[in-house]
Structure 1
Amino acid sequence: MQIRRFRAPDMRQAIRKVRDAVGPDAVILSNQRLPSGEIEITTALDYDGSLPSGLSSSSPSGRDYPLSSNDPKRAYQERLAQARNSQPPTQRPSPEPTTFSNDSFSAARRDEPSQIEEALSIKNSESPSQLIEMERELERLKSELKETKEQIEDKAEHSAKSNYSETPEQYIQGRLVKLGLSDIVIEKIVDHSNFLGREDDWKKALSRLADYLPVARQDMAHMSGCIAFMGPTGVGKTTSIGKIAAQHVLKNGADSVVLVTTDTYRIAAHEQLRTFGRILNVPVEVVNEYSDLNEVLDKYSNYSLVLVDTAGMNPRDRNLERQLKMMQKARGYLKKLLVLPCTSQRQVLKTVVDVYSQIQLDGCVLSKIDESASLGEAISVVIEEGLPVMYVADGQRIPDDIEPARAHNLISRAVYTAEQYGQLYGSLKYGS
């Protein structure tokens, strides 16, 4: 009988060495953990049934493993059963040499790694069963990560469909409502669009909204002629005039602009415009009961830009009628722009448009965009009334905070404003 010993850092590697060196027919006589921490397995070739001296045939626990069976596979299975019914100590010699046939060795290694460990009485932090369990856990985590990734990708691909608790049209309608748009405008968009429940439905709706928004094709760099700014008090008429005048002076010089005011109803109402005139070094004319607007327009007909500031009056002011008659009698080349603040309610804006529509309006200026919590009301009014937007003003800085209106830019600003104020409302509501 030939005796050989094999050492390895752990049981799995030790068994692999035995299998590679002597084959599956080797008989394992004993195994033990050395002081160095390594595992040592003693094997025999041409086993004759006897044990070398120093190896006991009884277990440390006092139970004898069966030696009478001539069937190695049966002996191995009986040892496994006894090992599962008891908690083995950390270290003990193998009581019975075990012969591994081709079938029993490969089956045990493939199907019962933890049972092999128990049968060989080796349990430690690096045991084969623990390593196998760790591998199984790792595979399980990989599988879960893969499944989660697939779910995320699937959700991203079908996000529009998954968000639809109702029909695609109802979903888009709900989002348009959050922009502050009127029912008339929303119905117009939904009825004339084909939504398919896809991610690009929202972009399609916004593009349709931009198409409906009337915008005057007017480049500020080529602003010229006579323009009157009209509207209620405090909507930003004078400030808008100052911005446009400053930009024109920077580009064309101070000798090309004149400022005119018809506001003689309020004390020192024209002082702000005179202040702009002094800063820009441009002339300022006041139209009162002793002068006529047309005479002033004729006087400065050689100027490339004449900006007229009118008195701010609410629709119920009796003096508004006189103001409107003055504009009706003005030269035909005088363009009339209505300044609409985006901070006002839709019904207020609509009333203002109705009153000032007594004269032929050429367009409007949307002011105070930076102060508004929703642009949908103003956008709805200009769409319903067919009033072209010429400029948008979004701040107090002169001359920076005014620019020619562009439909898609204005719609993007409306979406951004709704999202920002929606988040602010949510944080205030829930105290976060």
Structure 2
Amino acid sequence: MKVKRIFAPDMRQAMRRVREEIGPDAVIVSNHRVAGGVEVVAAHEHEYEAAQAEFKRQGQERRRREEQLQRQHSAGRQGAGLDDEMRKVRARIAAAQQQAASPAEPGLDVVRNRQIESDEDDEMRSILETLKARQQARIAVPADVPEPAPRRPAPESADGGDHRMIVTMQQEIQQLRAMLESQLKSPPPAAPAPRSQPPVAQAKLSRRLDSLGIGARVVRHLVADIEQDIELDKAWRGSLARLSDAIPVVGEEFIERGGMVAFVGPTGVGKTTTIGKLAARYVLRYGSSSLALVTTDSYRIAAHEQLRTFGRILDVPVRVADENHSLEEVLQSLRGKRLVLIDTAGMSASEPHTGEQIELLKSVPLRMKKLLVLSCSSQRRVLESAYDTYRGLGLNGCVLSKLDESGSLGEALTLAIEKQLPIAYVTDGQKIPDDIGVARRHDLVSRAVVTAQKALEREQQSGDEPDLAFIGRTG
């Protein structure tokens, strides 16, 4: 008969060992709390009846031996014996509570729960029967037989006192039994909800992030999991670190990949100047022979003159896509170039030619990457409008321009985070090719903090002076 007695530190590990050593069809014959953990007796499902009968027989034999030993003890040891029984009951209750709190292992038969309850009832009945037998033995002692001296003093030594003590003990056992049954029937208590950040601390962090121009939804995410008892200065650095992690960036020189790159966006955001800066960087590194510039802006008078000026200075060809030469024809003629930078007409969503420009870019069968140029001096609503206008092209990233003219960088960062639009470059001046750089997360956060600090200093808001000094510390 495949019956195993398994010892483990807790019931969960015991159940796992039962499953491993007997199999998924194992059933629990009994479980007991022992020194250092729990003892579980388990058997295979088809041998369960025989194992249970054998275990009950052993239990009955053990109880008979215990009763014989108990009858041999003097009445003076009755109090100590009752204490032992109470300790057993409490140990059983503790084991049952642990069992109720531990989730069941998959594949083990639910018979084990019924068996545990049955064992509890047998144990309780055994305790009560033992108590009754002791009471009857106490009453049957002849009056002329001297009682042995008790091993510890008791407030009452008469028969009536002992009887009342036994009755009281029985009542207490009944109460413990009721507690045990309630514990087995009740579901385990739900885990306490994590303590939230105190509103005052959350408000301070939210206000400081808001001063950077960060949007409300992003702010809630950044302060949601701040530890409760953390120092405010450390919490601020932690929120800035989380902001840095949330910003999507390309993280490398985008033009190094080569190919055809179109720059799109509203008028006045710096598309042509950005192309001039990138073209100059490329020529300084690789020369001018593998670079070409293209413009699709034929709507404004002399719109392409600035790009032609860049071309003459850098000694690279400049092509114009118009009614005589389609964009596809121009790009096909430049397929031998490693890098082609395409300047597009800057228009807002309300202008009639915006749709034509978008359809023009969509109609080109050649693979073309698109970067949205966003001015950091624009309001959040303008940034969102630009994104909504051009997102149908399948944007590959964005360029944040005019950082030097901005009073807040947070609006542009919020858009990039919420739309998951990787930032490729940032520009902060008119110098070519110096005032442009690859976007880096930590640098963007530092710029946002410094920009907000300068704006607050200009506004001279005396009520925010403590936060002003705090904002300057980025970690």
Q: TM-score range by the shorter chain?
A: 0.5 to 0.7
1:183 paired to 2:216: yes
AA aligned opposite 2:215: S
**Distance change (3 Å), C-alpha of 1:429 and 1:204:** closer
Instruction: Give the structure with the larger helix fraction.
Output: 2
2:227 maps to which of 194, 204, 219: 194
Of 169-178 and 245-254, deviating more is 169-178
2:345 is aligned to: 311
AA aligned opposite 1:216: V
Q: Is the 8 A contact 2:345 2:357 kept in 1?
A: yes
AA aligned opposite 1:188: H
AA aligned opposite 1:390: A
Q: Flag as ranges the 4+ runs of structure 1 deviating above 4 A.
A: 427-430
CA distance in 2, matches of 1:306, 1:412: 33
Question: Any idea what the Cα deviations from partners look like across 1:328-385, whole Å, max 9, x if unmatched?
Answer: 1123521001100000000110111011112111111000001000011111111111
1:173 paired to 2:233: no
CA distance in 1, matches of 2:356, 2:269: 20
1:391 paired to 2:425: yes
1:330 paired to 2:364: yes
Q: Is the 8 A contact 2:226 2:235 kept in 1?
A: no
Correspondence list, 1:26-105, <5 A: none
2:293 maps to which of 259, 280, 295: 259
Q: Is the 8 A contact 2:247 2:413 kept in 1?
A: yes
2:379 is aligned to: 345
2:459 maps to which of 396, 402, 425: 425
Question: 1:206: how far off?
Answer: 0.6
Question: 1:402: how far off?
Answer: 0.7
CA distance in 2, matches of 1:260, 1:195: 56
**Distance change (3 Å), C-alpha of 1:428 and 1:251:** farther
Q: Is the 8 A contact 1:172 1:202 kept in 2?
A: yes
Question: 1:193: how far off?
Answer: 3.8
**Distance change (3 Å), C-alpha of 1:297 and 1:312:** same
Question: 1:221: how far off?
Answer: 7.0
Question: 1:220: how far off?
Answer: 5.0
Question: Any idea what the Cα deviations from partners look like across 1:100-154, whole Å, max 9, x if unmatched?
Answer: xxxxxxxxxxxxxxxxxxxxxxxxxxxxxxxxxxxxxxxxxxxxxxxxxxxxxxx
**Distance change (3 Å), C-alpha of 1:428 and 1:264:** farther
1:136 is aligned to: none
Q: Is the 8 A contact 1:392 1:403 kept in 2?
A: yes
2:156 is aligned to: none
CA distance in 1, matches of 2:407, 2:376: 9
2:239 maps to which of 199, 205, 209: 205
CA distance in 1, matches of 2:463, 2:329: 58
2:280 is aligned to: 246
Question: 1:427: how far off?
Answer: 7.5
**Distance change (3 Å), C-alpha of 1:326 and 1:176:** same
Secondary structure of 2:289's match? helix
AA aligned opposite 2:230: G
Question: Any idea what the Cα deviations from partners look like across 1:246-267, whole Å, max 9, x if unmatched?
Answer: 0100111111210000000001
Gaps of 5+ in 1: 1-163
Question: 1:290: how far off?
Answer: 1.4
Secondary structure of 1:255's match? coil
**Distance change (3 Å), C-alpha of 1:335 and 1:193:** farther
2:256 maps to which of 194, 200, 222: 222
Q: Is the 8 A contact 2:198 2:228 kept in 1?
A: no
Secondary structure of 1:358's match? helix
AA aligned opposite 1:327: L
1:161 is aligned to: none
AA aligned opposite 2:414: S
Question: 1:241: how far off?
Answer: 0.0
Question: 1:279: how far off?
Answer: 0.6
AA aligned opposite 2:289: D
Question: 1:210: how far off?
Answer: 1.1
Q: Is the 8 A contact 1:195 1:201 kept in 2?
A: no
Q: Is the 8 A contact 2:375 2:402 kept in 1?
A: yes
TM-score by length of 1: 0.59
Q: Is the 8 A contact 1:263 1:270 kept in 2?
A: yes
Q: Is the 8 A contact 1:342 1:366 kept in 2?
A: yes
CA distance in 2, matches of 1:344, 1:228: 21
Q: Report which of the two structures shows the higher radius of gyration computed on alpha carbons.
A: 1
1:298 paired to 2:332: yes
Question: Any idea what the Cα deviations from partners look like across 1:369-419, whole Å, max 9, x if unmatched?
Answer: 010000111111111111111110111100011111111110110001001
Root-mean-square deviation over aligned CA pairs: 2.0
**Distance change (3 Å), C-alpha of 1:296 and 1:427:** same
CA distance in 2, matches of 1:331, 1:192: 47
2:319 is aligned to: 285
1:359 is aligned to: 393
CA distance in 2, matches of 1:377, 1:277: 34
CA distance in 1, matches of 2:254, 2:362: 25
AA aligned opposite 1:254: S
Question: 1:187: how far off?
Answer: 1.0
CA distance in 1, matches of 2:280, 2:370: 20
CA distance in 1, matches of 2:357, 2:227: 47
AA aligned opposite 1:343: S
CA distance in 2, matches of 1:429, 1:279: 52
CA distance in 2, matches of 1:192, 1:427: 30
Secondary structure of 1:302's match? coil
Gaps of 5+ in 2: 1-196, 465-475
Question: 1:196: how far off?
Answer: 3.3
Question: Any idea what the Cα deviations from partners look like across 1:258-297, whole Å, max 9, x if unmatched?
Answer: 0000000001000000000001010000000111212222
Q: Is the 8 A contact 1:315 1:355 kept in 2?
A: yes
**Distance change (3 Å), C-alpha of 1:171 and 1:427:** closer
CA distance in 1, matches of 2:461, 2:432: 33
**Percent identity over the alignment?**
47
**Distance change (3 Å), C-alpha of 1:429 and 1:276:** farther
TM-score by length of 2: 0.54
**Distance change (3 Å), C-alpha of 1:294 and 1:218:** farther
- The count of residues paired between Structure 1 and Structure 2 equals 267
